[in-house]
Amino acid sequence: MSNLPKIGIDIGSASIKMVELVPAGKDKWKLAAAASAVVPVGGISGGASNQAAITSSMVKIIKEAGMRSKRAVVALPEDQISSHVVEMPAMSDNEVEQALQWQVEQYIPIPADQAVWSYQIIRRDQPGNGAGGMEVLLAAAAKRLVETYSQVVEQAGLEVVAMETELMATARSVIPGGSPPAMVVDIGARSTDVGVVLGGQLVFARTIPTAGQAFTRAIETGLGLDTKQAEQYRNAYGFSKEQLQGKLLTVMKPVLTLIATEIKKTIDFYVSKHSDVVIGLVVLSGGIAVLPDVVGALSQLLGFEVTVGNPFSRVEMDESQKKQLMEGGPFYSVSLGLSMRDA
């Protein structure tokens, strides 16, 4: 683990979240600062004016929250990352990189010379008489995307020391190493990211294009409310059977059922290829994870234990920080996981 503090930066479609952690021992950290701000409609992909506004927000957060580090780890949006599990014969780390150089283009949807890619070995069988194999998680993003995020962060006076996917960061913050096999589900504003986590390491990931905004639209249509009112009702009453005679549960359940179906498909697909893995826990993250009764509603649909991940479980905080942040913990899952990265 790096013993230097880093700022984790999560630039989402609706808000930017920044966290500064200071390492405080093995797998533990102390919270130096955490803050967020709303981003313009369209987020970082909304053009130069949006990007300038996000940079200004970062500068303001750094100043007002008293962040001191200049080293930043930045999340790239999961829905713009191409990830693929590559099965390979057993080989050394150097051989893996050389082999992927020649193969990468067949696994990603853009030309290799227009992409930035990285990999991590997620399974390696014991060779034994030349037999055995390995699995490598390959992730690639367009160079243009990486350059845009780098420029926005660097213009705020920070140095980008690493980038990774939102789900990799979330898995690190909410599922500690040594945990049993689990599925992490991050329900954001525009998409739901799901991934299988083994021993604290993300080994499979995919994106579902259904998330928080779909719940809001369901309320708008079902109850005849405008967008602002629908969001307020969604956040206040969630999936409660008691509140508003259970009307919100009724109109939002089809959306949650769709997400649950895709989660089941993901689990079934992974287990079909890895029969020795048993996944019995789903860990929720993202803004929707804090909605009332979402855990019970999703657990009933899945038939699995569902829990809300606590990204602050290994982070020391003072009382004022706890009061300010603990209730909305999942909101900071990505930025905390970024700051925890050994970079």
Q: Domain residue spans in the chain?
A: 80-142, 176-308
- CB-based contact 37:54 (threshold 8 Å): no
pLDDT at 1: 46
The total number of residues shown for the chain amounts to 343
Dihedral-angle region of residue 205 (phi above 0 means left; psi in -120 to 50 means alpha; beta otherwise): beta
Average pLDDT across each block of 10 residues of the chain; the chain has 343 residues. List them in order.
82 92 90 94 90 96 96 93 89 88 86 90 70 84 95 97 93 88 91 91 91 95 95 94 92 96 94 90 90 95 93 93 84 94 83
> Which class does domain 176-308 fall in?
alpha beta
Query: From CA 252, how far away is CA 250, in angstroms rounded?
Result: 6
Q: What Cα–Cα distance (Å) separates residue 319 from each residue in 20, 174, 323, 335, 340?
A: 17, 21, 6, 21, 21
Q: What is the pLDDT of residue 2?
A: 59
SS3 for the chain is CCCCCEEEEEECCCEEEEEEEEECCCCCEEEEEEEEEECCCCHHHHCHHHHHHHHHHHHHHHHHHCCCCCEEEEEECHHHCEEEEEEEECCCHHHHHHHHHHHHHHCCCCCHHHEEEEEEEEEECCCCCCCCEEEEEEEEEEHHHHHHHHHHHHCCCCEEEEEEEHHHHHHHHHCCCCCCCEEEEEECCCCEEEEEEECCEEEEEEEECCCHHHHHHHHHHHHCCCHHHHHHHHHHHCCCCCHHHHHHHHHHHHHHHHHHHHHHHHHHHHHHHCCCCCCCEEEEECHHHHCCCHHHHHHHHHCCEEEECCCCCCEECCHHHHHHHHHHHHHHHHHHHHHHCCC
Q: 3 vs 71, 77, 158, 169, 174, CA distance in Å? A: 12, 27, 18, 18, 21
Tell me, what's the pLDDT at 131?
55
Please state, in angstroms and rounded to a whole number, the distance separating the CA atoms of residues 324 and 305.
28
Fold for the domain defined by 80-142: Dna Ligase; domain 1 (3.30.1490)
**Strand 6-11 versus strand 182-187 pairing type:** unpaired
Which residue type is seen at 66? G
pLDDT in the model for residue 278? 93
List CB contacts of 158: < 8 A, sequence separation 6 or more: 7, 9, 58, 62, 70, 71, 72
pTM for this prediction: 0.88
- Rounded Cα gap, residues 112 and 114, in angstroms: 5
pLDDT at residue 129 in the model: 47
